[in-house]
């Protein structure tokens, strides 16, 4: 902490303020980390709820109910003050979120897979000719 300018404070008050700032630095850091963790938890809740809402028809009911239970658990942990419970709820929801991704991946048709019995090799087996264009006219017009 730096105090500059034409301060009318006595030197003792300035030293006391600096000392108090140094003593509270660890507590301030802890509060900042807690606030950042809570923001991350809120963002996770928002993004997972958005995925659930947008893909409601594509997701199996068991996956939806499991993920929604983890979302609710994280919301209740956010309402409380227990940091350990918040961390555990975030980890549980992050794990559930991967199950959402897996379920969505399985629900989507594979865009790269061949359709109607085509083999993927048929596109590769086409007659491809590698050619090079040579312009001979530049040498003869000199």
Q: Cβ distance 104 to 63 under 8 Å?
A: no
Q: Count of H helices and E strands in the chain? A: 6, 0
Instruction: List, for residues 100-141, the tens digit of each pLDDT value.
Output: 888 888 877 654 455 555 555 555 556 777 777 777 765 555
| Residues counted in the chain | 142
For the chain, how many structural domains are there in total? 1
Say which CATH number the domain at 54 has.
1.20.1270.10
Angstrom distance (rounded) from CA 128 to CA 32: 61
Is 86 within the bounds of a domain?
A: yes
Is 135 within the bounds of a domain?
A: no
Is 137 within the bounds of a domain?
A: no
What pTM was computed for the model? 0.60
Tokens 């499991």 map to which residue?
66
- Which residues constitute the domain of residue 59? 11-107
Angstrom distance (rounded) from CA 99 to CA 31: 32
Is 47 within the bounds of a domain?
A: yes
């Amino acid at each position: 902490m730096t105090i500059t300018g034409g301060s009318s404070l006595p030197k003792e008050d300035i030293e006391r303020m600096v000392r108090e700032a140094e003593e509270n630095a660890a507590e301030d850091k802890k509060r900042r980390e807690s606030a950042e963790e809570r923001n991350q938890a809120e963002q996770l809740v928002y993004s997972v709820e958005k995925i659930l809402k947008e893909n409601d028809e594509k997701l199996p009911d068991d996956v939806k109910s499991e993920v929604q239970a983890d979302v609710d658990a994280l919301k209740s942990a956010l309402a409380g003050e227990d940091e350990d419970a918040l961390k555990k709820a975030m980890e549980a929801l992050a794990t559930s979120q991967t199950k959402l991704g897996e379920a969505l991946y399985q629900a989507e048709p594979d865009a790269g897979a061949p359709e109607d019995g085509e083999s993927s090799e048929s596109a590769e087996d086409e007659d491809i000719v590698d050619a090079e264009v040579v312009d001979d006219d530049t040498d003869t017009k000199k």
